[in-house]
Amino acid sequence: MFRRILLPVDLTDRHQRSLEMAARLARHEAGEVVLVHVIEVIHGLTPDEDRDFYGRLEKNARQHLEILGQFLTQQSVPWSVRVLYGDRAEQIIHCAEEEHADLILMTSHRIDLTGPIAGWGTLSYKIGILSQCPVLLVK
Question: How many domains is the chain built from?
Answer: 1
pLDDT tens per residue, range 34-84: 999 999 999 888 888 889 999 999 999 999 999 999 999 999 999 999 999
Cα dihedral 85→91→97→99 (10° resolution): 40
Domain CATH code at residue 47: 3.40.50.620
The pLDDT confidence band at residue 121, using thresholds 50, 70 and 90, is: confident
pLDDT tens per residue, range 110-119: 666 676 666 6
- Residue 27: burial class (beta carbons within 10 Å; 0-12, 13-18, 19+): middle
Domain that holds residue 81: 4-138
